[in-house]
Structure 1
Amino acid sequence: MILIAMGVSGAGKTRIGELLAERLHCTFTDGDAFHSEANKEKMHKGIPLTDEDRWPWLKTIRAAIEEKQRAHETAVFTCSSLKRSYRDILRAGDTDVCFVYLKGTREVLEERLTARTGHFFDPSLLQSQLDTLEEPGQDEAISVSIELTPERIVDNVLDQLKRR
């Protein structure tokens, strides 16, 4: 099984991904690690990424997913996965790839981004991400409110996984 914690910046993908991996006794990989330096520089400067910027990044994450699948490993990844077409690349038709949508209000996301330090993402890009976001339906992802504690979010995700 491959889980991908998704959502806009500030949703808590890294923290939730780490906790899920810990609870599932598997590896965790932050999708941001696959961004090119050019992508990171654009985001640092407050320039939104285009689809053309994202395609190579998404394909690199997909290759890492396939590596875990070939090794028959459970793994947790993070990736904003804002559009269905992006999720389609990451999923590639595999039924063992499950998205976990961390859903939050603009107010909560802004508050988190303002408090965050040491990240290359310029908080001014939140609106661009929200504009790009195509929220996944129940057929596509487990959806969880980011207003819960991280532990409750993970409990909720694991409960929903059991029912799938």
Structure 2
Amino acid sequence: MIQRLAPSNMNATTYLIVVMGVSGSGKSSLARSLADHYGYCYLDGDDFHSESSRARMASGQPLTDEMRAPWVAAICQHLQDRARRQQHCFLAFSGLKKIHRNQLREAGLKTLFIFLRGDKHTIQDRLNRRTGHFMAPALLDSQLATLEDPSMETDVIPLDIAAPLATIADQAIQAINEQYELEELAIK
């Protein structure tokens, strides 16, 4: 049984489920899988980065807080636009800092976070094998150092990444349905 939590903005009518974690934790794969399951919009936070931010990360340099600010603001604006159209979304988003998670909460959607956590060795191995992504594998230490653990926040469901994606997706679906108390969320 998943511990009962409370999504942010309980009176909102548009759902936002943020799949968060450091680079290589599997957030894009899980968010895409869940969006397909529910028939919701899939958004990847990486798509909102500027070209200069992407180039900086590709060169192995972490972003500063000043560089992250317009990125998070652009995501929030996009989410508010989706909410006005009653479009429920899954968002793959690092969410390393509480201030950024709070900005997403303040966007006004009924929000849950799925926090993908795992050991450094597993994540580093995934990053080293990944191809076609701008994020340099050397940035993992920086991401882990920046991560402000969200496990105790009331709208966060922590899941371990050691299991196969299908198992993690099943755990996430169970948690989402229980937290929103809406079995009809699932369209399949």
TMscore range, shorter length: over 0.9
The residue type equivalent to 1:42 in the other structure is R
**RMSD of aligned residue pairs (Cα, Å):** 1.2
Deviations 1:117-137 (A, max 9, x none): 111101111000000001112
- Find out whether 1:134 has 2:148 as its counterpart: yes
- Displacement, 1:29? 1.0
Contact 2:40–2:90 (Cα < 8 Å) also in 1: yes
- Displacement, 1:95? 5.8
- Find out whether 1:153 has 2:168 as its counterpart: yes
Deviations 1:1-37 (A, max 9, x none): 1111110000011100110000111110111000000
Counterparts of 1:9-158 in structure 2, within 5 Å, are: 9-92=23-106, 94=108, 96-136=110-150, 137-158=152-173
Q: Distance in 2 between matches of 1:68 and 1:152?
A: 29
Contact 2:60–2:136 (Cα < 8 Å) also in 1: yes
Contact 2:83–2:109 (Cα < 8 Å) also in 1: no
Structure 1 unpaired stretches of 5+:
none
Q: Distance in 1 between matches of 2:153 and 2:61?
A: 31
- Which protein is bigger by CA-based radius of gyration? 2
Deviations 1:61-91 (A, max 9, x none): 1111111111112111111010110101111
Structure 2 unpaired stretches of 5+:
1-14, 180-188
- Displacement, 1:141? 0.9
Q: Which moved more, 1:108-117 or 1:130-139?
A: 130-139
Contact 2:80–2:107 (Cα < 8 Å) also in 1: no
Identity %: 35
Deviations 1:82-112 (A, max 9, x none): 0110101111163601111111110100010
TM-score when normalising by structure 1: 0.96
SS at match of 1:52: helix
SS at match of 1:80: coil
SS at match of 1:28: strand
Higher helix share: 1
